[in-house]
Amino acid sequence: MAQRARLDNLMALATKPDLSDQIGKWITWLKVEKNVSPHTLRAYINDVTQFLEFLHDHFDEAIGINTLSSVRLSDFRSWLSRKSMDGLAASSRARSLSGVKNFLKWLDKTGVMHNAHIGNVRSPKLPHKLPKPLERPQAFRLLDLDHTDTDWQSLRNSALFTLLYACGLRISEALNLNISDLPRDGFLIVMGKGRKERQVPVLPIVEKTLTVYRASCPFAETPDRAVFLGERGGRLNQGVAQKAMRDVRGLMNLPETATPHALRHSFATHLLENGANLREIQELLGHASLSTTQRYTEVNAEELIRIYKAAHPRSST
């Protein structure tokens, strides 16, 4: 609500009607055509809002389509420099630039305007980060928690975490599932990024934990009801799921890197360790590019080096 009020205030005071109209159309396109996650939508809106606020102060005028099309390379660099001086990390600056590029690219594709300089703006250099999966014993302990006589929300968390690890889903993909999407004939149809569907095989343990959770859930099932519900019966919020994982990892003494998304990393890493090839893992994860999936080979190489150094009799000489 606060973000929407800020955007409305910006469009009323700092942007001209022609640009305000296009911002509204772009947001609709992100929601309907691109089917971006709520998290991505919030991030993109915030990125563009901050950029336009900067331009409003930078040029000391309300920003319209003509002004936006004439923004120079030096202006883009000034905006990123301001973010750096404000203490934003390179990853945050890169994400902000991505949101602004998305908006300007959409304006270009729809024939509204073209900015000749945005393509020359270099993204801040990011440190090379590898996925941080759980070790297999840690993942198994997480899935083998004793849920005898526990409440329905604990059973929900167990079913959710099992689904993430056993099927490699993104947390947003799992939380967007409805009752009508539940597994059939051993497979789950998942709607991924860019409204791309993929078919994921489902292990018996997934169906078992889902069945136990559904039997305990106090809310009636309809085809369009969310599978994973919050305390009051609405669709489970991603922040609640993340907090549940923090609580579990505290009880089990798991590392801080144990997050819902780490279960997806664990799924891919453990498949690779057991002989699955990259193309198969790419298909299961729903990665558009094989290069994204290839990060998991680096994880395996790091682990191999660690084991080699620990085990080789001459490693310390």
User: Annotated active-site positions, please?
Assistant: 170, 193, 261, 264, 287, 296
Contacts with 13 (C-beta within 8 Å, 6 or more apart), sequence order: 62
Q: If residue 188 lies in a helix (H) or strand (E), which one and from where to where?
A: strand 187-191
Tell me the two tokens of residue 49.
């809002």
d(CA 99, CA 91): 13
The residue whose two tokens read 């404000």 is 86
Question: How many angstroms separate the Cα of 206 from the Cα of each of 104, 167, 253?
Answer: 42, 9, 24
DSSP bridge partners of 191: 197
Contact 15, 58 (CB under 8 A): no
> Cβ of 269: how many Cβ atoms within 10 Å?
26
DSSP bridge partners of 178: 226
d(CA 216, CA 156): 9
Contacts with 248 (C-beta within 8 Å, 6 or more apart), sequence order: 142, 145, 157, 161, 254
